[in-house]
Amino acid sequence: MDGIVTRETLVKWAPLLVLLVLILFFAVMEPRFISVRNMARIAIASAPALMVAVGVTFIIIMGSIDLSMEGTVSVSAVVFAFAFLAMGGTVLSWAWLALPLALIVGAVIGLINGLVHVRLRIPSFMASLAMGFVGTGFALLLTGGDRIRIEDEVFRGLLTERWFGFPVMCYVALLFLFIAWFIQSRTTLGRNFYAVGGGEELAHASGLNVDRVRVMGFMLAGVFYAVGALLAVGRIGIAETATGNNFMFISITSVVVGGTALWGGIGGVWNTLIGVLIVNVIGNGMVVIGLPGYVQDGVLGLLVITAVVLSTDRKSVSFVK
């Protein structure tokens, strides 16, 4: 039996099995849980979080950590909102240019993040944590603490327009998930992420410019954080300093629970999709069956510990770089 169910097989399939068991459990406890309306509710909550989690997946695959997502999301959302309103306030005018502008802002913050980490030789978690604080502060400076409302019906169609019962924003998130998968699996950059995460010294020895790969990784993550920011604004119609709140916990929890190894080189964006769904199914299911929020937090905490225990080989464990 040991030969059939290896550690690798368990780690690979455990997240999907956990997701299926959770769905079955909540469906038995409350049949309304599996209604299209409730599935759409889970998908809406998952879409922005998935984009942010996909961004951080690239960083964790490299064996680094990124804690800047909350600041990046807030700045991207606020800059988008100001630019959108300044250029006409509707997607059908020149305001559509605010969409790529937000992605550029995310990429620039990611670039700065990566350069601070690589050039100044500061550990990634400290460099990115600092950048996250800078981003949140800058967003507060821009808004003065005010909320910026986006009321354009076309842009809000991300939430209000539905295909097969699910809002457009869910399909946008899926599109970017496929783009992320393509980058991860079909490009040299994606393969380089795994090479750096699998062993930085070996990657150096094979002629890979590790510093450049790291900076590119942080830039790419910044772009996906900005996509998450756009979906978050589309979901509630408001951009503010608090737009990025809670994304750090949700994204890193999702990546770890999904089975991407914290030391790098193992996992990917499909793991992250499963992880995001696990986190949001637990959140939604607890509400549906009437359990308090602290139980949800406790369950998530136990899942994170279990995921790390399963995926970490104690004999060759190393600290996150």
Does 116 fall in a domain?
A: yes
**Which of 7-21, 136-150, 185-199, 257-271 has the lowest average pLDDT?**
7-21
Structure tokens given for 113: 């993040």
Does 39 fall in a domain?
A: no
Give pLDDT, residue 320: 47
Does 193 fall in a domain?
A: yes
CB 216 within 8 A of CB 189: yes
207-249 pLDDT, tens digit each: 899 999 999 999 999 999 999 999 999 999 999 999 999 999 8
Q: Cα separation of 191 and 207, whole Å?
A: 14
Give pLDDT, residue 7: 65
The pairing of strands 148-149 and 238-239 is antiparallel
Largest CA distance in the chain: 65
Q: Cα separation of 7 and 13, whole Å?
A: 10
Does 266 fall in a domain?
A: no
What's this model's pTM, rounded to 2 decimal places? 0.93
Q: Number of folded domains in the chain?
A: 1
Structural domain boundaries, residue 95 = 47-245
* Coil, strand or helix at 265: coil
Task: Write down the number of H helices and E strands in the chain.
Answer: 13, 4
Does 124 fall in a domain?
A: yes
Q: Cα separation of 32 and 26, whole Å?
A: 9
Does 206 fall in a domain?
A: yes
Does 66 fall in a domain?
A: yes
Does 318 fall in a domain?
A: no
Question: How many CA atoms does the CB half-sphere of 168 hold within 13 Å?
Answer: 12
**Comparing C-alpha atoms, which of 239, 242, 277 is closest to residue 257?**
277
Radius of gyration of the chain (CA): 20
